[in-house]
Structures are given as structure tokens and as C-alpha cells.
Structure 1
């Protein structure tokens, strides 16, 4: 009898527990329940975006995201409970919650599995965060074995797909982390956490594990394809503004121009040589010594007339970016004001010494400290001095260096530094988002006449909304590093952040000099080959910018007109400018259509051979770029440095040797042409069928390029800077073989009037069967808009001259006055 009562009691308890486990609460956005002592919330932010929150029962979870700007939409969804599951379904995605273990499966509305949480994959471990009781958190998922995933930021691992990787995510000089990945199955996942995080993928599970978190917080998004996922990520974290047209020209820089005369003379030299240039960058120490680090003022006597320098550059029809940092020296007013308000963080950052010696002489500590960019008042103070000292002089944009920021001689207690939002540990990876966002927001408040342009060394999710172009940091001048830049830029773009670039020629190049800074490397044939190939790659990135230390990179350092290397550099720069109408119109597709400029081949081709391809990509949706990333004329030198040891200016033992090289020889490389279309060799117009690997003949002055059949490409005039000539006589190139379309975009170039509808578009449609080009009416208006122009329409064929030169015989010359017109070719 006692045993029977016990069994009945046990059965009653189990029944009650099961009843509790299977209960849930419907909310405005989804459902909320408690399973195995864990609260689980599923929230629809849109029909395509689902937010998942988990935290230990008995606690609470309130958070204002630093990355997410979207407010949840009023989304229609249905709830269907079956046994131990609850299914929430919108018009685009289904989330199925297991009421026994709390795991969630994501599916398409027709039941196709997209992503599964691992059973009991949520883990909370008690953690003391500088005196605050919180958790370390983990969430595990199970991916299909053949699934490819992309993203995670700028990774220097040379990989395209990030399967079977372990990545420790703490922002640094050359690795910029974004806790996001997307799958070739058409979904994306954003892990909304800013603390040091480990991403891990192996055949058993895929997980994010963060050091600090009051709860698990992530967003699942269904986009059906890569462009769709990127569109959802931008819907969630912010859209991309238009960059000024002049930012898409060629930029010259180095570490560093040491006087205002030197800076201006570089621009003058380019103008005298007739080589196009749109901007120059003034690197650090225009403020003087390290105790005045980042003073945002011209305290160096070599820059005694800054207004004259800026005016001289502008009078040469060029633009100036200037270096600003995330830290301040102790003798600056910024330091003093922030110090008094506890807005500085105490850990070792660059530069550590007040003396310019290596290694740092710590007998003379610089006292430089990083500011608390999480504090809105600190961001106000930062802008106050930036506006007064630099923006008021007419400087065109900001080179925000060390936005990760530099964190040297790391000690775990450094993460205990208090910020406005808690410990530095808790918000560490979002630092670049906060400091870059502070400059963007403040400049937008004071001016709509000049578009914000920021060149920055680090990024986090959402940074695309702040007018920032991220570069890949102080990378080495090696072929191996050049190879790694392609997948680094593509994976970054697949995070929804489209603007990216790299130091053309690599940053640390001293191994090519006879002694570390004699500049002889520019005449070293090994470096010349590397530089030309890097420049050719850089011409097909969102920003074409030459920069580095040890070896000057100006074109005239490599020889003179008529010499092979000089001519190759000039040819590449001119090619970039000819493509400006194509590039600027693609920038509008980013802003208006959530597109990407650098496109991994998996985005546009259903071809298994390109899923993990890390050495080719599309630039826009028409131009296949296959950079030459292996030495063909010289030995590949192995140069071992990193962003810290690279600053050691002692002569290295592995100096590359200068050898006599005949750069006029023809070489070859293998190129894979994706299936599903035909391709035109850009240089010869020879046509190839896709889905095959070809042996491509190469020259030192040409990068292998292929144009997709059906492409319509506008070809710009020969200019010395982006705005020198109006687009009143464009060549329109038709690559037949398929239907095609291109929309030419124009606006005022450097203000925000486009946000008010002040822009114009002309759409070209090619009907391949009828061999007819239709030119639409010009839609929209803006100040200074062309009302009539000529289009020189060319149907590209094999017997034409190289298309980088003006065609002698044009198929049609069209007088266009803004009305629709159709041309038979």
C-alpha cells in the first residue's frame, strides 16, 4: 500500500512537471516559457528575422543593443502546439521550440530545415565580472556536414568557408571580428554579444561562447540567398550611406609625410606627371611629440601653416584625410578633461614610450591612454576638439587609426577597467562601433554639405551605417599576406559591411630595403612585382589606397614613364578611373538595394566549385577579378613580422635580394570561370564558356579580368580626378550573349541631398535576342544634372582593340536628351 501511494505520488509529480514544462506564454512578438530552469523567448522582429533570448530562471534580462537599431515590426505569425513542441510561423520562417529541452529548430515555411540548436546547447556558467555577478554563456548549433558558412569579420586565415575553424574573437590590429555568419543554405545568425568570444566549428557542433553575458541573445535571419541575408542584416543593424564620389578614386599615403611641404609636393608631383589622384592622407605626429599624442592640432613646427596646406591640396583638386586615434597623450586638453571625469582606461596602448625608439624606453612612459568611447559625454568631448582643431579647417575625412584599440602587454585585469556600460570585458569588441559612430553622428549633426568619410582599422556589426571603410590593418608585405586579403575582404562583405580595403603593397616592407628605411625597396624587383600585383588587386576593391612603411609608394619612386613598372602602375590607376561610373553606380546599389561591391562567387553562381573559392570574386555583378597572387618573375621571399615586431627597425637577416628581371616576358596562370554564363576576356574580348578552368596568358601590366555575358558597362572619360569631367560622353559597352541591365546613378557627389531624392538614374537594358539596347528616360533631378549628352554604344567583339583604349569605330553614337530611346545593334 505504501509502495502504491509512492508510485501514485511520483506519477502525479511527473505529470505536474510535464505540464509545467509544456506551458508557455504568448507575447506580442512571439512566446516566452521556462524550461529546465532556463527562460526562453522567441521574438519576431520581422517576417524574416527571429530574435532568441535565454537566461537563467529567477533572473532578468534587459539590454539595449549596440549593434541592432531595428525596432521589432508588427509581424503576423501563427502558433501551433503539438505534443512537446511549439511552432511559430511567419510568412517567411518557422521556429520550432522543443518544450522538453528548450532547443529551437529553424525552417523554411515549407518545412525545409535551415538551422538546429543542439539539444541542451545553452550553457550558463557563473562568472564574476569585476565584481558583478553574471555568466559566461554558450550556445551550440548543429550544421549540415556539407554546409558552407561565411563571415565572422576580417580574418587573416586565408579561408573562404569558415567550417572547421576555431576563432578567438578579441579585436586586434589585423583581425576585425563580427560575431555573425551566413550559410549557403540562405540564412544568417548574429550573436549579439561584445565580450571576448570563441567561435568554434567541428563535425559535432558549431558554437559561440562568450566570456560575459547576462543572457544568450542572438538573431536568426532567413534571406534565401547571400544578398537576402545581407539585406536582413542591414535591416537589423543599419543601412549604408553613400560615400563621396572622390573616395572612389586613387589615394596615396605612407607612414608618414613629415612636413606639410612634403604632403603638398606629392599631390603636385602627381598633377605634373598627369597621373590621376583624388586624395592624400596625413599620418600621425603632425601634433608633435608623444606626450601630445592625438592632440587634434598642428603642434609640429613642420606643419606651421595647416590652413595653407589644406587650401593648397584643395586648389590642386585633391582631398585630405588625417590621422586621429582612440587615445590621448597626457599633455593634451582632451586627456586632461576626460581624466577629470574618469573617462580614460588604464592599460598599455600605442605608443608606450615618450621617445621614438624601439623597443619602447619605459624609463620615459608616454602616459597615453584610451578614452571611454562607450560614454556619450566622452564622444561629445572627442568631437568638440576634433571639430575645433581639424574639421573647422576643411579637412575632408578621418583616418581613424587604432579603433580596435591597440591593447599591448595584455593582462587579464585590464578587462576590469570600468566603462560607461560596465567592464571593458563586457563591451570590448564593440569599441570600434562606438568610437567610429561617435564621429559620424556628430559630423552629421553639424553638416549635411559634406558626406562623412571615415577610414578605420577596426569594425563591428552595424558599422556600415557610419560612413566607414575598414582596412585590414598593418599587414606584412608578402605574397602570402596578399593571398589572404581576398577571402578576408569577401568574408567581411558577407557580414553586411561592404566597404573594405587594404594597404596596397603591404604595410611592413623593410625586408626589401638594403637598410630598414633607405627606400631602396621601390627599385627592388621582388618588391616591384609584389606592389604591382597588389595595386591591381586594390583597383578592384571599394577603396584604392597605397600605404605602408619602410618603402615610399608614390608612382615616381618606382621609375619614370616608359619604364615597365611605372607604366604598369599608371595603367592600373587609369583603369580604376575609367570604371568610376560603374563603381559609383554600384555604390548606389549598396545604399539603395542592399548590394555588395566585392562579391564572393557563391553569391551569384550555383556552382559547387566556387563555394570555397578564395582567389577570385566579382567586382559589382559584371566583372570577374582573378588577381595574380603568386610571384611569376621573382622568388617569393618569406618575411616574418607582425604588427608589433614589425616596428622593430633593426636590419632583418632575411633581406630579399635584388635580381635582374625581364618584366616584359609573358607568363600564365590558371583561372576558373564559373558555370552558368559565358565570359569575355577583358583585355582581348575572347569569349569562353563558363564551368571550366583555363590557362590565361598574363603580363605584368594586366590583371586577369572577365566580363559576364549580358553585361552593360559604362566607361568613363580619362581624368586626373573623379570630378574633373562630367559624364556627358560615356562609352556604353555591351557584352552580348545574354539579356542584361545596368542603371547609371548620378548625384551631387558630396552632400546628403540624395536622401531628399536629389539624384537621377538612367537604365540600360540589353535584349540579346533582338540585339536591341533600350535606354530609359532619365528619372529624378538634382542641381547641375546633365540634360543632354552623348552615349557611344559599343557591342564588344573579338576584333576590337583592347577595351582599355578608346575604340576607333563605334557602333552607335546616341544623342540623349533624357527621353526613352531604343537602339538596334
Structure 2
């Protein structure tokens, strides 16, 4: 009787416990957790999927069912082979692998990651987990998604693609992840705490404070006479400032997109005018206020008399800038802005945010406009390489590009005829300037046939013959520009249109482009798998069949209409085959590249695909895609921004990146056949400094608008500028054994070529904010010069190692900032103590000869090692194991260099070669000189040899 009496109580207690504990389903590769009492706009379900010991896939949704739409960026699924355990206690579910634990709160759905010692690596910010705000877009029920994470004060954050604002460390910064010409958004974040977050979402996303940017008028504004109501806006002639067209008070500066041009005063001639805004701003609270600018033309901004921005961009392509300033409540802070539009289409916008709210202090946040669920991958590692390797494990290996892609490419906007291309390459060979690739930019088709993928026969009478001549006579490769754009009415347009595979809004708008009288056009829907196949079929038939080696995929944001508002840009690509443009806005470049890659691999499985694309997204590295930094300005300040842009792009997990050496578009002072006087001097120095930097980017490429960009058109061959550019071109080719070895490591070992200093010297906190230095592979510290007429530069030598000047061999201890000599002809380069740097023979092109003699420069002081990687360079046999490695090891204690037994083989492999060995030590500074006698020479036949140095 007693048992019967207590049975209902026990059942009630069990039911209460079950309700409190929730329902935890054990899956083959993780856990699905149903929260017992979901909070408003919070998750109802949280899923932990075990990918590896160190990678956990987190999904969460507010509904009864979790969305199962396939990922575009991720190629992995969970692994049931990974050992893991789980338990429930104290209102939490704990999943444990051999490397970390992930804990989910049954009350809030909050996820916390810890290492095996119990230390928190990362935690979703308390008190709540993700926030889901329901939205309906084009009839589809979606969510706006926000997720905050706790962030200790000493954390540094990197990656996020290529924002182009000059920022290196994103701690306490805000980043807008919207694809745009020169802005490549990649939602992968790398932390100094040895974790990464891959945010699996394709909509426009914000990192940091996601409050809407406010108009300047949300501050209290005063004119230049301190009268309240707005800033004094004075519209004048640029050449005659006393000629005032209009003066008035204005509360906002917001000419950001094409529709905003209507707000420009009609009496103001933009191409000849200047606008000055001046007065005072007064905030409602103390603190660091954040400012966001989009500008083209000339812009200068002063706050409290301090110049905070001085920039120029071509009118049609505005770029972003950010700055912060300490403002005090009630105080009037002076603000002055000068804008010279310089053309009838130029843009300027200044927005603002008050200090970061308390709720986001010591946190970072990702928020996306549209998604079916929260979806991210947590990646843990012992170092940055391991974390980036985890990113590639999720999204796919970076394919190995053809070896010739590591050489020098020449391009310009643009070669207009077949004759120009042939003559240019002939001149390179005549002058013995190393070259591997010539690039044909847009408009090789007939004027009214954009999208035909066919050469204009009047200017390119024999394209197949031209390409054959480039291959056979000049040993050069040929890359061509291919846009996803089609003029209305051409046959290729009709092929896509009858299938419904075109974005039609631009057609309905009757929007014309900028060619001649203008033509109506649109882009194809790359999210449609069949449309991608058709796009490749056209390229294969009209271009690949003629011998084209590589693809330049331009305007892949997609840029259907430049400078359209963001909302209109969505309308211009809506709907996609997968769903609303809001949901898939950022992923176009990924989808477009996949079609080219998959098509070519099927058409010719023995030829490596190579793609250059203006936009990028997570996962694009698996499609043999490199990215360049877009249509940037030919300015020293723009050169400075390229350095953190390239570093952060590489820290985003994408190893192949390049920039237009010299900058794409030019100021009027340069826009002539031969700039004169002071402009000529600056132009030559700008290109020389950029060329020095470009030689140590993952890919080495010159491109830009008029004036012509070949080094012999920039400066005469007896000039220091020409000699410097030739020197670095030749040095790049000498370094090919080193460069191709680290290229091989990107595929085989998940390596990164362009390395932020935090990757190799993370324990040295002094490197965390350095944005103008990086490692090129394991040995070379690159220090670009980006200031006009600078002949020295301050640079930091990371601690806990020593450094050798590459040119002289002089040794300097690390852990200090030095002033390095930087004559016009040279950029400071240092070699890390304990490095082996292999140099090959002088080459005119990468395939000219095998590296039968390699000079090993051994920088002593510490043990050193390097693996010399080789394969056939053009095909995919490396995926089948056909490659070789020669391990090199220097033992500091024994003073010996071991050239190890060759591992692996491939067709055509050199069976014998000579290694020349040059020793560099603290006691004996030996400079870089390929004509100097070697200390020792070793005849190598694949068997291990050890020599004493």
C-alpha cells in the first residue's frame, strides 16, 4: 500500500525531471537537444555535430523542426568514427571528445567550449543563446539571426575576408560583410585564442555592433558659426573657392548610391565643384564614437583639428573607411569635411554609431539578415595553421594551382588587339623579363555582343593561332576575362532566357550599361546547377577549345548594376534558384566558380583549373580560385591598405590572393601616355614599391588602367625603378623552389602562404596589431614600403628568434623595433634564424628548365628544416600521390645539414641534381649573391647525405 501511495508522486517527479532536462537525442554523430522551455525568440532545438575531435558543428532553430537545406560552403558531414561521449547533469548537456568539451544549457541553449583542462575557449554570450527574429521574404519564412560570444580583453580577431578599411585586428571593430567591388566577404573568424568560427550563412552579415548606422543628424549639430540645426554645407567651384553655388545647413551627408544623386543640388556642377561641410558635433554620451564613410573622389576629414582621413577613389567605385574618435557629452567637437567629386558620378556618405552598448562590452557578435537556422562551425587548434586547416577540412582543400601561376603575370585594362598581346609578350622575351602569363581583360568581343564569349574577328582575327603562338613560341600562358553578363537579345542571352535562368529585373528596368550608347543586360543565375553547366558549355566551345589556360571571372559580387543601393542589388538578382536574394546575396562567386571548375575538370581532367575571381566566399578555395583585391586606386595610401587586406584574406583560410600592382585606376595627373615632372617621379616610385610588395604576394600580377603597366612602359631600362622591378621579378623566379614547395603545402598540409605575424609568433603579443609586415612562407619577413619618398621604415622583428638581412646577411636580434634601410631599389626583407631558403636557376618562365641546381642558403643559429616539394606542375596526378619531397634539416649543435632520402616520385622527376650550400651565421654575414662560390656542393641522387658546415 505504501508503494502504491508513492507511485503517483514518483511519476510526477520523473515527469518534472524529464521536462526540466528536456529531450536529448543521441545521433550517430552528435546530439539533438530539445529545450524544455524555450525563451522568446530563442532556440527550441540545439544540435551538436561532431566533425572531428576539434571541430563541432553547432545548429540551432526556434521551430519544432530543424532546417536541413544543404550547405554551399561546407563539404563535410559529421563523422561517426570520432570517439565522443555525452552526459546530462546540473541542467546541462555535455559532449566530450578527446580534445574538447561542448556544453549546452538546457535552460537557454547557450553553448560553451572548453579544453581538456576545463578552461573556457569560447562561450556564447550569457544570458541567452542565439536570437531569432521571424521575417517573411518573398513568401519564405526565415529569420534574422544574431549570436554574441564572450571575448576577453586580450583577444585579437582576424579574417572575415577582405574588408579594405586598413584594419588588421577586429577586436572592438565593426565589419560589414557585404560583397562589393574590392570587398570580399568571407564569414570565417580566427582568434588569437586558437579557435575559429565559420558562420554558415549567405546573407548580408555584420560583425560587431549590428545597430543600424545612424545619420550624422542623430548627433546635435551646429554650423560653423555655432548655430544649432546642422553643419554649414558650402558648394563651390573646386578651382575658384570664392565662387559659391549654394550654402545651407545640412543634417546628413548621404550620397551613397545612384538614387542619392538626385539629392545633389541642381545648381552644383559635380565634375567641377567642391563641397565643404563644417561646424560642430555634440554627442549625448561620453565615449569612443564610431564613424563609417563610403567615398569616391577626393575626401578629407578633420575632427577637433586632426586629419583622420585623406583619400581618393575613382568616382564610379566608392570605397569604405572607418575611424573612431573620443567625444564628450555636451561638448562641441569641431568637424570639417572637404569633398571634391571630380566627376558627375561620385559618392560620399558619413554615418555614425554611439559608443558600443554595455551589452556588447567584452563580446563579439555575428548577425545575418536571413537564414533558416543558426549554423556555425567551431574549430579548435594548437596554432593558427591547425585552425585554418580545420576550416579547409570543413570547406574543402585548397587545390594546387599550376606551377606557372606562381610566376609573373602581365595585364592591363586592356589589350585591344591580337597584335598588342603578341607584341607585348615578344617585348618581354626580347628584354629577358621573366613572364609566365599574359591576361586579356574585357571587351575582346564585338561592342554589342557582351556575353557572346567570342572574339571580335576585326581585332582578333586568329585567337586560336595567337594562343598557340603564345604557348609554342613564347612559352607563355593565356588567361581571359569571362563575365556572367549577357546583352539582351544576343544568342547566348536567348539560350538562358528560354530556360528562365536569367535575373530579369535589370531587363524590366531597361537599364543600360556604360558602353557606347549603352546596352541593356543582365547576369545569369549561378545558383542554378543547369545554368552553370550551360555557362561552362559556352566557354568550353568558344574559348577553352582555342587553348585558353585560365579564367578571370570578373564582377562576381554580382555587380549587375554598379552603385545600385543594396536593396536594389537584391532585387536585381531575385529570385535565385535556391531562394530569395536576401538569403543568398553573398554566395554568388562561390556558385559561379564551381561551374567553371567542375566543367573544366570534366572536359580535360589532365589540366589544372585556374580561376581568378573578384569576389570570394568560404569554400571557394576548393575550386582552384584565387581572388584579387578589386578595382582599387593607384595611390600610396591604397597600397598601405592592401597589406592588411591580403593578410586578413589569407587568415580567412583562402591561400591564393593578389592585387593590381600599381593600383587599378589613376588620378588625372597620371592619366596620360607619359606622366611628366613630379607626377612622373611619383608614378614610377608608386609602381616600384608596389612591385616589390607584389613579388611577395601569393600571386604576382600587374594590372591597371592607362597608362600602360608593363615595366618598360613605366620607366626606362636604365632607371633605378626599372632595375628594381626587374630585380624582384628575377628574384621571384629564383625563389620558385621555395614558392612551389609552400604552394604544395597548401594542399597537402593546409598551409598558408601569406602569413600574419600572429600565425608564427602568436606568443609575442607585440605582433597582434601589426598590419604592414607578414611572413611569406616559413622563412621570409616581408616589410613593404608604402610611403612616398621614404628611404627607411620602422619595422618590428618578432621576439624569441634572430633575423638576417636577406641582402647583406647581417644579423639582428628579435624582440625590437628597428629603422631599416629602404632605398628606392629595395624593400626590407629579413630571414628568420634557423631557416633553409632554396634558390633555383635563373628563369624566363617557370617551365624553362628543371631545378637541376639548387642553392641552399642556410641561416644558422637554430635548427632548421624545409621540405622541397615537386610534382609535374600542370595536372592532377598530385591528387593520386604522384609527387616527391626532399627533407632538408640543419642541426645547429652538430653544424650539419642533412639532405634526406627523397620521398615519393612522379613522371619526369629529376633523378640527380646538385645542391650548392651557402652558410650564413652571426659571425659571418653572407649576402645574397648567386655568383658567389658555394661553401660546399653536393651531388644528390635521391639518397640521404649529410655534410658538415
* Equivalent-residue separation in structure 1 for 2:747 and 2:623 (angstroms): 12
**Deviation sequence 1:595-653 (CA, Å, 0-9, x none):** 100001111112010011101000001000011121125xxxxxxxxxxxxxxxxxxxx
Cα pair distance change 1:175/1:348, threshold 3 Å: farther
773 and 213 in structure 1: CA distance in 2 versus 1, 3 angstrom threshold: same
Gaps of 5+ in 1: 1-7, 358-363, 634-666
* Alignment equivalent of 1:780, drawn from 904, 909, 912: 904
1:17-61: CA deviation from partner (whole Å, max 9, x where unpaired) = 883454422222222223233111111122111111111133441
- Aligned pair partner of 2:608 in 451, 457, 464: 451
Once the two structures are overlaid, the 10-residue window that deviates more, 691-700 or 227-236, is: 691-700
Which of 507, 527, 535 aligns to 2:683? It is 527
Give the structure 1 partner of residue 83 of structure 2: 76
CA contact (8 A) 1:285 1:300 kept: no
Match of 1:397 among 521, 525, 550: 550
C-alpha contact (below 8 Å) 1:77/1:88 kept by paired residues = yes
Q: Distance in 1 between matches of 2:941 and 2:811?
A: 34
Distance 2:137 2:68 in 1: 17
Paired residues of 1:521 and 1:527 also in contact (CA < 8 A): no
Whether the 8 Å contact between 1:29 and 1:43 is mirrored in structure 2 is: yes
Does the Cα contact within 8 Å between 1:456 and 1:468 map onto a contact in 2?
A: yes
Contact in 2 for aligned 1:21/1:34 (Cα 8 Å): no
Query: Hey, what does 2:168 align to over in structure 1?
Result: 160
**Superposed, which structure 2 residues align to 1:624-639 within 5 Å?**
624-632=781-789
Q: Are the structure 2 counterparts of residues 591 and 18 from structure 1 closer, same or farther at C-alpha, using a change threshold of 3 Å?
A: same
Q: CA deviation at 1:332?
A: 3.1
The CA distance in 1 between the partners of 2:625 and 2:385, in whole Å, is: 20
Task: Give 1:521 shift.
Answer: 7.0
2 CA distance for matches of 1:797 and 1:21? Answer: 65
* CA distance in structure 1 between the partners assigned to 2:647 and 2:510 by the alignment: 32
Question: For 1:195-247, what per-residue CA distance to the aligned partner results, in whole angstroms no more than 9, with x for missing partners?
Answer: 11121155243221111111111111111211010111111100011111111
* Counterpart residue number, 2:540: 387
For 2:938, which of 796, 808, 814 is the aligned residue? 814
Deviation at 1:128, TM superposition (A): 1.4
From 101, 123, 128, the counterpart of 1:94 = 101
Query: Of residues 597, 601, 606 in structure 1, which corresponds to 2:753?
Result: 597
Residue 134 of structure 1 aligns to a residue in which SS? strand
1:485 and 2:642 are equivalent in the alignment: yes
Secondary structure, counterpart of 2:592 in structure 1:
helix
Determine the C-alpha separation between the residues in 2 that align with 1:273 and 1:122: 61
Partner in structure 2 of residue 67 of structure 1: 73
Q: Out of 42, 49, 58, which is 1:52 matched to? A: 58
* Change beyond 3 A, Cα 1:228–1:801: closer
Distance, in Å, in 2 between the alignment partners of 1:801 and 1:520 is 41
Q: Within 2, Cα distance between the matches of 1:73 and 1:562?
A: 62
> In the superposition, relative to structure 1, how do residues 541 and 555 fare at CA in structure 2: closer, same or farther (>3 Å)?
same
Asked whether the equivalents of residues 121 and 141 of structure 1 are also in contact (C-alpha less than 8 Å), the reply is: no
Change in CA separation of 1:317 and 1:802 when aligned onto 2, cut-off 3 Å: farther
Structure 1 match to 2:886:
762
Kept in 2, the 8 Å contact 1:127–1:136? The answer is yes
Offset of 1:123 from its aligned partner?
1.2
Instruction: Report what 1:184 is aligned to.
Output: 192
Matched, 1:356 2:356: no
Quick check: 2:919–2:926 contact (8 Å CA) kept in 1?
no
Q: Which residue of 2 aligns with 1:643?
A: none
* Equivalent of 1:563 in 716, 719, 728: 719
Q: Hey, what's the Cα distance between the residues in 1 that align with 2:403 and 2:829? A: 24
Structure 2 distance, partners of 1:629, 1:481, is: 9
Which of 326, 333, 338 is matched with 2:491 structurally? 333
Partner of 2:399: 241
Verify: 1:230 aligned to 2:237, yes or no.
Answer: no
The 5 A counterparts of 1:269-288 are 269-288=427-446
The answer to whether 1:129 aligns with 2:137 is: yes
Question: Aligned to 1:748, what secondary structure does the other structure show?
Answer: coil
> 1:546 & 1:21 partners in 2: Cα distance?
62
- The farther-off stretch of 407-416 and 796-805 is 796-805
Q: Is the 8 A contact 1:627 1:703 kept in 2?
A: yes
Following superposition, the deviation at residue 356 of structure 1 comes to: 3.0
Residue of structure 1 equivalent to 2:567: 412
In 1: Cα distance, 2:363 partner to 2:824 partner: 46
- Matching of residue 367 in structure 1 with residue 520 in structure 2: yes
Contact 1:500 1:543 in 2 (8 A): yes
- Cα distance, 1:798 vs. partner? 7.4
Q: Deviations over 1:50-84 (max 9, x none)?
A: 11111113344112000000121112211122211
**Bigger shift: residues 546-555 or 407-416:** 407-416
Instruction: Render the CA deviation track for 1:404-428: whole Å, top value 9, x for unaligned.
Output: 1114323626535111101122111
544, 560, 578: which is aligned to 1:421? 578
1:521–1:551 Cα contact (<8 Å) kept: no
Q: How does 1:292-691 map to 2 (within 5 A)?
A: 292-314=449-471, 315-348=473-506, 353=512, 356=515, 365-408=518-561, 409-410=564-565, 412=567, 414-416=569-571, 417-513=574-670, 516-520=671-675, 524-605=680-761, 606-632=763-789, 667-691=791-815
Does 196-205 or 243-252 show the bigger shift? 196-205
- What TM-score, normalized by structure 2, do the two folds share? 0.79
Contact 1:624–1:708 (8 Å) recurs in 2:
yes
1:494 Cα shift? 1.1
Deviation larger for 546-555 or 132-141: 132-141
The total of aligned residue pairs comes to: 775
Q: Is the 8 A contact 2:163 2:177 kept in 1?
A: no
2:866 alignment counterpart: 742
Q: Which secondary structure state, in structure 2, belongs to the residue aligned with residue 384 of structure 1?
A: helix
Look up the SS of the partner of 1:440 in the other structure. Answer: helix
Note the C-alpha offset of 1:799: 9.1
Contact 1:775 1:820 (8 Å CA) reproduced? yes
- 2:283 is aligned to none
Cα separation, 2, equivalents of 1:530 and 1:798? 35
Q: Secondary structure at the match of 2:197?
A: strand
Q: How many angstroms apart in 1 are the aligned matches of 2:544 and 2:890? A: 46
Task: Compute the displacement of 1:334 (Å).
Answer: 2.2
Matches of 2:948 and 2:742, distance apart in 1: 26
- For residue 353 of structure 1, report the CA deviation from its aligned partner: 3.4
Q: Is the 8 A contact 2:733 2:846 kept in 1?
A: yes
SS of the aligned residue for 2:453 comes to: coil
Task: Call closer, same or farther: CA 1:80–1:555 in 2, change over 3 Å.
Answer: same
The answer (yes or no) to whether the contact 2:914–2:939 under 8 Å persists in 1 is yes
Q: Is contact 1:760-1:778 (8 Å) kept?
A: yes
CA distance in 1, matches of 2:514, 2:383: 53
Deviations 1:279-302 (A, max 9, x none): 11000111121x311321112511
In the alignment, the residues of structure 2 paired with residue 552 and residue 510 of structure 1 have an alpha-carbon distance, to the nearest angstrom, of 14
Secondary structure of the 1:140 match is: strand
Question: What is the CA–CA distance in structure 1 between the aligned matches of 2:511 and 2:842, rounded to whole Å?
Answer: 47
Asked if the contact 2:156/2:171 (under 8 Å) is kept, the reply is yes
In structure 2, what is the Cα distance between the partners aligned to 1:773 and 1:14? 70
Partner SS for 1:320: strand
Query: In the aligned structure 1, how far is the partner of 2:171 from the partner of 2:504?
Result: 37
Query: Is the 1:579–1:715 contact (alpha carbons within 8 Å) kept by the matching residues of 2?
Result: yes
Q: Structure 1 residues 536 and 414 mapped into 2: Cα distance closer, same or farther (>3 Å)?
A: closer
Preserved contact between residue 773 and residue 824 of structure 1 (Cα < 8 Å): yes
**Contact 1:334 1:382 (8 Å CA) reproduced:** no
